[in-house]
Structure 1
Amino acid sequence: MRFGIQFVVVVGVAFLAGRATLAAQDNVWLSLVVGLVASVVALAAYHWVVRWTEKRPVTEAEPGAAASGLVRGTLLGLAVFAAVIGNIAVNGGYRVHGLSDDPLAAVGLIGFMAGAVVTEELMYRGVLFRHVEKFTGTWPALLLSAVVFGAVHLLNENATLWGALCVAIAGGGMLTSAFIATRSLWLPIGLHFGWNFAQAAIFSTEVSGNGLKQGLLDAESTGNTWISGGSFGPEASLSTLIAGVIVTTVFLILARRRGHIVPLRRREPSTLVA
């Protein structure tokens, strides 16, 4: 019952936030404001529904930890994607021609990406993973949430099965393991935002086959699709897959050292929420 109520509330807010950000996407400043407001509203809705249904403090999204987690996560996301796109470029899969005709569009993408990232993290890590982990333990919950996260990307405009698989392994694994290691939503939100913002707003590449959103650079993907990711974008490249597995492994090692791995059928996994 708790899962169902929380899922309906978060998905409902995500749908409304998505409609609002899409409606504002042609205006840079309006897109920025709408996306940021949608993020705050989604977080407020999550806090309300978790407190109501679980009768506990929402420690996984504690406001006091927001700044640190978001900053560290964003910097990590930017750095990891920069390494990925750099490796793709060295191998002939990405080429920069100069600045784009409308570099200011990157400002609007801050709001657009913030709205999308916050609602996705609340759905897949805050609700789905957290509740499944209570019944299955960490490993099955990690696998299930990653598969669902990847499968949803099959609905995107330029989706491919390989791209969705890469999102499941690299994206789903990396983001969920960040939550497991910290037991906080702020780091995965920042990591997800930094990664997506770098893709679209800085390097002007496709984001999960969602259609090209031009950012700061005038650039193109070239050559072998195994290297560049093709129409799905860099997330379908071998570079992303390798980077995602490495980062996921590091987070899971950290989670184990901190005692954050919930074993199968553990009776009181709720003690590891924070």
Structure 2
Amino acid sequence: FRAVLYEELIFRGALLYLLIQKTGTNRAMLVSSAAFGIYHWFAWQAFGNPVQMLVIFLMTGSCGYIFALAFVRTRSMYLPFALHLGNNITQMILFSGDASIGDQMLLRTFTTDPVVPQAIISIPVLIIHYTGFQLLGWYLLMKVKPDLS
């Protein structure tokens, strides 16, 4: 919760808001989402591994673009915050192998598991993991009428 609040206040609440006034909406959204992607290189300690950095930049930068689009469409921090929190919780529940919370739903837990999620659904899970949120978020946000007030 704290990480999402911190990131949203910096990247949407301050950076995006100021850039919209200085450079216009489209450029501001791109810069904000790029900064969000670059920030995660350091947050996830991936700096120095070019392949991992590219994957992280594309994944988190595209999510940052969706959060920025949510802010632009609603002129509110509520929707970007909710989307960001929901995305993080979903990632933790479905895809986390983090030792602090343990293996989650779509990770193999025991060596004797009769069902091995990686082997059965690895390609669709990878596609959903890296593009599903962004595509669904973009589609739904295109249906939201911008707040022009």
**Do Structure 1 and Structure 2 share a fold, with TM-score over 0.5?**
yes
Query: Structure 1: which 4+ aligned runs deviate by more than 6 Å?
Result: none
- Match of 1:220, SS? coil
Q: Please tell me whether the aligned partners of residues 150 and 166 of structure 1 are also in contact (alpha carbons under 8 angstroms).
A: yes
Unpaired segments of 5 or more residues in structure 2?
109-117
Deviation, 1:227, is 3.6
Deviation, 1:183, is 0.9
Task: From the CA coordinates, give the structure whose radius of gyration is larger.
Answer: 1
Of 247, 253, 258 in structure 1, the residue corresponding to residue 137 of structure 2 is: 247
- Which structure has more strand as a fraction of its residues? 1
How far, CA to CA, are the matches of 1:193 and 1:217 in structure 2? 17
Deviation, 1:195, is 1.6
- What does residue 110 of structure 1 align with? none
How far, CA to CA, are the matches of 1:203 and 1:246 in structure 2? 17
How far, CA to CA, are the matches of 1:187 and 1:215 in structure 2? 29
Alignment size in residue pairs: 132
- What does residue 174 of structure 1 align with? 66
Of 153, 163, 179 in structure 1, the residue corresponding to residue 56 of structure 2 is: 163
The amino acid that maps onto 1:214 is I
**1:108-140, CA deviations, whole angstroms, 9 ceiling, x for partnerless residues?**
xxxxxx110001000000000000000111110
Q: Please tell me whether the aligned partners of residues 180 and 252 of structure 1 are also in contact (alpha carbons under 8 angstroms).
A: no
- What does residue 142 of structure 1 align with? 29
Q: Please tell me whether the aligned partners of residues 173 and 248 of structure 1 are also in contact (alpha carbons under 8 angstroms).
A: no
Q: Please tell me whether the aligned partners of residues 96 and 104 of structure 2 are also in contact (alpha carbons under 8 angstroms).
A: no
How far, CA to CA, are the matches of 2:134 and 2:18 in structure 1? 24
- What does residue 20 of structure 2 align with? 133
Pick closer, same or farther for the CA change 1:191–1:166 going to 2, 3 Å.
same
**1:40-65, CA deviations, whole angstroms, 9 ceiling, x for partnerless residues?**
xxxxxxxxxxxxxxxxxxxxxxxxxx
Of 234, 258, 263 in structure 1, the residue corresponding to residue 146 of structure 2 is: 258
TM-score by length of 2: 0.72
TM-score by length of 1: 0.42
The amino acid that maps onto 1:165 is L
Q: Please tell me whether the aligned partners of residues 179 and 187 of structure 1 are also in contact (alpha carbons under 8 angstroms).
A: yes
How far, CA to CA, are the matches of 1:219 and 1:253 in structure 2? 31
Bigger relative contact order, structure 1 or 2, given CA contacts below 8 A and separation 6+? 1
- What does residue 114 of structure 2 align with? none
Please, what is the CA RMSD of the aligned residues?
2.9
Pick closer, same or farther for the CA change 1:175–1:213 going to 2, 3 Å.
farther
Unpaired segments of 5 or more residues in structure 1?
1-113, 229-233, 261-271
The amino acid that maps onto 2:135 is V
Q: Please tell me whether the aligned partners of residues 204 and 215 of structure 1 are also in contact (alpha carbons under 8 angstroms).
A: no
- What does residue 87 of structure 2 align with? 195
**1:163-195, CA deviations, whole angstroms, 9 ceiling, x for partnerless residues?**
2212111x1121111111211111211211122
Percent identical residues = 27
Pick closer, same or farther for the CA change 1:138–1:153 going to 2, 3 Å.
same
Confirm or deny that 1:118 pairs with 2:5. yes
